[in-house]
Amino acid sequence: MMRVGFAYYPEHWPRSRWKRDAGLMKRGGFNVVRMAEFAWAFMEPEEGRYTFDWLDEALDILGKHGISAILCTPTAVMPAWCAAKYPETLATQANGQRIVWGVRKNNCFTSGTYRLLSERITRAMAEHFRNASNVIGWQTDNEFGGPACYCATCRSEFRGWLRRKYGSLDRLNRALGTHFWGHIYTDWDQIQAPVDEGGHNPSLCLEWCRFNSWLNVRFQRDQVRILREVCPRHFVTHNFMGLYNNLNYYELAEDLDHVSWDNYPVWGKPEVPYGAAAAADVMRGLKRRNFWIMEQTAGPGGWGTFGRNPRPGEIRKIAYQQVGHGAESIIWFRWRTCTAGREQYWHGILGHDGRPLRRYREASKTARELRALGDLLSGTTVRTPVAFIYDYESQWALRIQPAFPENNPHQAMFRYYNALFRLGIQTDMISPARDLAEYRVVVAPDLYLLPDSLARRLCEFVRKGGVLLTDCRTGVKDETGLCHPRTLPGLLRSCLGIEIQEYETLAKDMEYSVEGKEELAGSYAAVHYADWVIPRGAELLARYTDSHMKKYAAVTRYRCGRGWGYYVGAVIREDGFYDALMAEILRSAHIKPFLSPPAGVEVCMREGAAKRLLFLINHAEEPRLVSLPCKAHDALSRRQVSGEIELEPFGIAVLRV
Ligand code: GLA
Ligand code: ZN
């Protein structure tokens, strides 16, 4: 069943309006709302006094209109009384100053008081709403990822966490390489929380990232435990932030039934939203199952300045893109634009005036369609033979030491991802711990932290017939952030057939020319970074042509066992290079796209329960023609289609093939 609806804040409006809201939702074909994530002060106006009557009433009205609700633990904004009475619940910044209360997400996660207050409101809500007939599930907090806190408790918990992890100072000193600059610890109390990622020991900074991620996971776990105990029939989820990478989302997802995420792709001028596609794949990969959209662009958004309006057709198109990647709900943020507060201009489906206008009509059309598609979608998800290894810890380590200023792990990923997207191929985003055997292609961009065990698994994947693509800065470090004392690419040499004795970054005004051959024929520019790759058995697919670089490869291919190992030792400027490379990779893996989409059209496939559903999504504002390789049944028009079909601007099609 598809859930379609809104983030809804009855507490922002007079009770006299609530029936009209519910009526409009029902009339529009919507069936779910999410509520209360910022309503702590409304539910516990003073410590220990709970007031849920308003929410009971709102739920009751919604229920009478056939609308279900997801309730949230409200801990993303502490009430004013909490900050005033227990100032230690506010996070302390790196400069030692406490955050001034009044924004949101400003709590300290180790404060015993805050944890206790969080457990109390969670339990009070859970007990009060466990039998509310239209409550279906819970969202923990809101968009975890609060500030790192540097208060005395957090610093001492950090030491305790390291102590549990390493057991002895000796092991800690070795793991973090504290011999450098003589940073050797002789007492646990000497360990500082690093305040400057650009200056402190990178290994210590990496541990600080892990610790802070874990604090969020632990905080959520305390809430989940209560919700599970009191409300066993309700699901528990959280609204993740797509490509946000400061937390280890695999760990945050572990305690949940499913992942939900907040999708805001409308920013600058309309363009192909590769980011929203990749984010959806990351979200699906966290638990290896379909996800919910818990918030989605409903109108212009911003806190001071604000962005553009979704154009006609865009609200619907954004929704279908996510469904094509595995979304089981579309919840827009928000129902009605608030007349007050910092998000006065974060526009909802309704404006300040509360009238159901164009955006409402488009959301309503989308809602009706998606609900009608519900049965067809059920039991289906994305299945693909292509996976990217998406590793949070490598991303943290690269943020701490990016090698070149423009290096951003997502940019590296998108060079390959976007090319596959253009070729009509979907991908899974997987944790490095995942079994690789179910894939034919594994892309491991910027896999900077490479424990030996993972290197061995990658080699075995290739030997057994897999195609591996990896690139510069892969395999440089071990899991505690020490550089491997080996010639690059370290253990991967056995599946890549290369050696890299030297490498460098290229400043803005520097580049090398690169000449590709065979499938990669063409002239390209290497920018930002260059590995001086020496083939040791690998074939050369592209070489540098500048005089001192002539004998080095930039891109290689190696036959290893039954598979292939590809290496890209530079950042190549031209998109065309990546299009050719990914086409070559697909050929090596014997993967054929279902169809070749025209520019701007995205191809998604959901499969399962003996069904195959093809999603065609036109991200362009002009019509596009797509040639179908076979007859199909159009699930929306309920007609047979074949040959060429036309997608209108921002148009979509869902075809059973
Ligand atoms: C996030 C939050 C929402 C809201 C929107 C718009 O996704 O979860 O509460 O703030 O952004 O700013
Ligand atoms: Zn703290």
114 and 151 in contact (C-beta within 8 Å)? no
Nearest CA to ligand 1 atom 7: 262
CB atoms within 10 A of CB 541: 23
Q: Which tokens is 495 given?
A: 């599946």
Chain segment 441-457, per-residue pLDDT in tens: 999 999 999 999 999 99
Average pLDDT over residues 45-72: 98
According to the model, what pLDDT value does residue 266 have? Answer: 83
Asked whether residue 231 carries a pLDDT value surpassing 90, the answer given is: yes
Q: What is the rounded distance in angstroms from the CA atom of residue 444 to the CA atom of residue 461?
A: 12
Query: CA triplet 628, 634, 636: central angle to 5 degrees?
Result: 140
Question: Across the chain, how many H-helices and E-strands are there?
Answer: 17, 27
According to the model, what pLDDT value does residue 295 have? Answer: 98
Q: Which of 315, 311, 302, 294 is nearest to 346 (CA)?
A: 302
Query: CA triplet 338, 227, 380: central angle to 5 degrees?
Result: 80
Q: Which tokens is 588 given?
A: 């090596």
Give the closest ligand to the alpha carbon of residue 7.
Answer: 1
The rounded Å distance from CA 521 to ligand 1 centre is: 46
User: Which of 40, 333, 346, when mutated, tests ligand 1's pocket best, judged by the most ligand atoms within 8 Å of its CB?
Assistant: 333
324 and 370 in contact (C-beta within 8 Å)? no
- Left if phi > 0, otherwise alpha if psi is -120 to 50, otherwise beta: which for 49? beta
Query: CA triplet 654, 655, 657: central angle to 5 degrees?
Result: 150
Say if ligand 1 is within 6 A of residue 295 CB: yes
Chain segment 474-506, per-residue pLDDT in tens: 999 999 999 999 999 999 999 999 999 999 999
Q: What is the rounded distance in angstroms from the CA atom of residue 452 to the CA atom of residue 535?
A: 22
Say if ligand 1 is within 6 A of residue 142 CB: yes
- With pLDDT > 70 as the criterion, what percentage of the chain qualifies? 100
Helix (H, G, I), strand (E, B) or coil at 443: strand
Q: What is the rounded distance in angstroms from the CA atom of residue 254 to the CA atom of residue 259?
A: 9
**How does strand 260-263 pair with strand 291-296?**
parallel
Chain segment 357-412, per-residue pLDDT in tens: 999 999 999 999 999 999 999 999 999 999 999 999 999 999 999 999 989 889 99
Say if ligand 1 is within 6 A of residue 346 CB: yes
135 and 67 in contact (C-beta within 8 Å)? no
- With pLDDT > 90 as the criterion, what percentage of the chain qualifies? 98
Q: Which of 1, 23, 19, 24 is nearest to 349 (CA)?
A: 24
Helix (H, G, I), strand (E, B) or coil at 2: coil
Say if ligand 1 is within 6 A of residue 332 CB: no
Q: Which of 131, 148, 134 is nearest to 193 (CA)?
A: 148
Q: Which is catalytic among the residues 37, 44, 251, 295?
A: 295
Confidence of residue 267 (pLDDT cuts 50, 70, 90): confident
Q: Which tokens is 384 given?
A: 């693909």
Helix (H, G, I), strand (E, B) or coil at 398: helix
- Report, in angstroms and rounded to the nearest whole number, the Rg of the chain calculated over CA atoms: 26
Q: Which tokens is 267 given?
A: 């920013």
Helix (H, G, I), strand (E, B) or coil at 323: helix
Confidence of residue 146 (pLDDT cuts 50, 70, 90): confident
The rounded Å distance from CA 334 to ligand 1 centre is: 9
According to the model, what pLDDT value does residue 147 have? Answer: 84
According to the model, what pLDDT value does residue 284 have? Answer: 98
Q: Which tokens is 527 given?
A: 């920018």
Mark whether 295 is an active-site residue. yes
Q: What is the rounded distance in angstroms from the CA atom of residue 657 to the CA atom of residue 215?
A: 46
The rounded Å distance from CA 308 to ligand 1 centre is: 17
235 and 136 in contact (C-beta within 8 Å)? yes
Average pLDDT of the chain, as a whole number: 97
- Left if phi > 0, otherwise alpha if psi is -120 to 50, otherwise beta: which for 198? alpha
Q: Which is catalytic among the residues 37, 44, 143, 328?
A: 143
For 390-440, strand residue ranges (E) read 428-430
The rounded Å distance from CA 195 to ligand 2 centre is: 14
595 and 629 in contact (C-beta within 8 Å)? yes
CB atoms within 10 A of CB 288: 12
- Please give the number of the atom of ligand 1 that sits closest to the Cα of 333: 5
Asked whether residue 651 carries a pLDDT value surpassing 90, the answer given is: yes
According to the model, what pLDDT value does residue 446 have? Answer: 94
Chain segment 174-207, per-residue pLDDT in tens: 999 999 999 999 999 999 999 999 999 999 999 9
Nearest CA to ligand 1 atom 6: 346
Mark whether 621 is an active-site residue. no
Q: Which tokens is 348 given?
A: 């909802």
Residue count (the chain)? 657
Contacts for 173-180 with beta carbons within 8 Å, 24 or more apart?
175/203, 175/480, 175/482, 176/201, 176/203, 176/204, 176/207, 176/480, 176/481, 177/201, 177/203, 177/480, 177/481, 177/482
Q: Which of 480, 485, 486, 484 is nearest to 175 (CA)?
A: 480
Q: Which tokens is 90 given?
A: 């506010």
User: Which of 9, 240, 262, 345, when mutated, tests ligand 1's pocket best, judged by the most ligand atoms within 8 Å of its CB?
Assistant: 262
